[in-house]
Amino acid sequence: METLDPDLLRTFLAFVDSGSLAQAAANVGRSPSAVTAQMQRLEEIVGEPVLAPQGRRRGLTPAGEDLVGHARRILAVHREAWLALKGARAAGRVAIGTTQDFADSGLPDLLRAFASSHPRVRIELRVGRSAELAQALQAGSLDLAIVMRQAAVPDEVGVLREPMIWLCSNKGLASRQEELPLALLDPYCGFREAALAALDAAGRRYRIAAGSASLAGLRTAVNAGVALTLRTPRFAHSGIVEAPRELGLPPAPMAEFAIRLRAGADAPAGDLATLLGGSLALSGPLG
């Protein structure tokens, strides 16, 4: 009997969570051809197709749908075993910084698993904007940080890629106007730059209807229907949904987040970085 290779299952779930083989390839750091070969190998082990054409894309077969739950459980057991072995004798402190996106979605469950398996390690969590977290990491007050990526840096140990989407209140905009009302974080913000660049390229008129220094302020403005914003699907909860196609909004690029580990950080910080790099993208955005 052939066993289900966890590496194949990770790639399979990357497809499930992203919806495309191309995005799965980007998420797992492999070429599209390598991901296709992995899926073919997985189907050989399973004994039947797990993916099938659906128009121009691919979707899950009944066997693929059945495999999703098994794959998540298998990888969870692997993660628990790895954490238990790593954390049995670990001690010390890990200071981690993250943007609000991951503090709301994905990170809490992983921190809980890490704390459970590393009972002698003290976790200190800081939530903030990418620029200030990067500065704190460089200053040595953080061991590990999840920040928006502008360019490759020597201390990054993982990269997470997620789509940027336009978001608004589930009740829609409070009023329709000729100029598109935007809610954006104050400079500098990668999402702000991407939103303005996409609208400028499309020749779409807009105005900044709400500016904020925090995601809490941004969420309030969007929830009120004052404006819409550009974020990842992780922001789509608590009354915020993807903007309807009828608004004719232009496509936006992928968002990249770097998992950065301070040079010289203790072993537990490295363990947590490995956990995040292997599991955070697979946890998927919350709806």
Any idea what the CATH number is for the domain that residue 63 is in?
A: 1.10.10.10
Is 1 contained in some domain? no
SS3 content of the chain, % helix, strand, coil (to 5): 45, 25, 30
Name 10's Cβ contacts closer than 8 Å, sequence gap at least 6.
28, 75, 278, 282
* 43 and 70, same domain (yes or no): yes
**Residue 161, both tokens:** 């890629």
* 126 and 183, same domain (yes or no): no
Query: In this structure, which amino acid lies at residue 278?
Result: G
Question: Which own/partner pairs from 133-142 qualify as long-range (CB within 8 Å, at least 24 positions apart)?
Answer: 133/97, 133/98, 133/99, 134/260, 136/97, 137/97, 137/260, 137/262, 140/262, 141/95, 142/95, 142/96, 142/97, 142/262
Instruction: From first to last of the 287 residues of the chain, give the pLDDT tens digit.
Output: 678 888 899 899 888 887 788 888 877 778 888 988 999 999 999 999 999 888 778 889 999 999 999 998 888 888 777 777 665 566 678 999 998 889 888 899 889 888 888 888 889 999 998 989 999 999 999 999 999 998 888 999 888 888 899 999 999 888 777 899 999 999 888 999 999 999 999 999 999 999 998 888 999 999 999 999 999 988 888 899 999 988 899 999 989 999 999 999 988 899 899 888 878 765 443 33
Residue 247's CATH number: 3.40.190.10
Q: How far apart are CA 239 and CA 234, in angstroms?
A: 13
Rg of the chain over Cα atoms, rounded to whole angstroms, equals 20
Domain range enclosing 120:
90-161+255-283
121 near 90, Cβ under 8 Å?
Answer: yes
- Domains held by the chain: number: 3
Last residue of a domain, one of 26, 53, 83: 83
**Residue 64, both tokens:** 């693929």
137 near 96, Cβ under 8 Å?
Answer: no
Residues paired with 181 in a beta bridge: 207
Return the pLDDT at 140: 93
* 75 and 152, same domain (yes or no): no
